[in-house]
Amino acid sequence: MCAVTSGSPASIDLCRRLELCPPTLPRQAYHAIVHDGLDLTAGERLIRKVAEASVKSARAAMRATKDLVAVAVVAEPRDLPGLERILKSHALLHSAEGDMYREVIVDAAEREGIPAFHFPSSELRAEPQDALMKAFGAAVGTPWRQEHKDAARAALRALASVPAAARAPRSRAGAP
């Protein structure tokens, strides 16, 4: 998770990994379906259970993040086939799991009343390396990987997409 605050210049407040899936459930639900030999119905139930538990964790993280006004997800648009076909391809298992967690973030944001935006990494990487990204990297320290730079650029774009009036801090502590 990368949190960027508005200002002149913007600053990076937080850059950390979120563990969305509780340890009592398989983090890689699609892999677990294959590994455990679940049928399609049981597999779909497992995916829903993991996704819903992960949405709950994401919502808690969003509530705990001070002054959150937008969420950005870095993702290339893709159309995945049905579950039966996904389960036959190891590469599709990974794609489906990544897609599930990206949608978990968007679902959690929507439930919290926070606008969510998708930005393709290819689009973000086309932007020039500027002084602000270098300053963010210096603030975060190592590692400052491409995925972190993509997240920071996406956060900046999301922040710019929210009208200034909607950037005022608001409390979600009591949200269901």
Give the chain's length.
176
Of the given ranges (117-121, 123-127, 137-141, 161-165), which has the lowest mean pLDDT? Answer: 161-165
Q: Give mean pLDDT, residues 6-20.
A: 70
Most confident of 50-59, 70-79, 111-120, 153-162: 50-59
Count the alpha carbons within 13 Å of 168 in the hemisphere toward its beta carbon: 2
* Residues 6+ positions from 46 with CB-CB distance below 8 Å: 26, 29, 32, 33, 38
Can you tell me the distance from the alpha carbon of 173 to that of 62, in angstroms, rounded to the nearest whole number?
9
Strand ranges (DSSP E) for 2-159?
Answer: 2-5, 11-15, 71-74, 116-119
Provide the pLDDT for residue 86: 97
List own/partner pairs for 24-28 with CB under 8 A and 24 or more apart.
25/49, 25/50, 25/53, 26/50, 28/93, 28/97
Determine which of 12-16, 111-115, 166-170 has the lowest per-residue pLDDT on average: 166-170
The yes-or-no verdict on residue 173 having pLDDT over 50 is no
Tell me the pLDDT tens digit for each residue of 89-132: 999 999 999 999 999 999 999 999 989 999 998 888 877 767 88
What's residue 89's pLDDT? Answer: 97
- What is the structure's pLDDT at 100? 96
Listed range (28-42, 73-87, 99-113, 156-170) with the worst mean pLDDT: 156-170
Percentage of the chain surpassing pLDDT 90?
Answer: 45
* pLDDT confidence of residue 49: 98
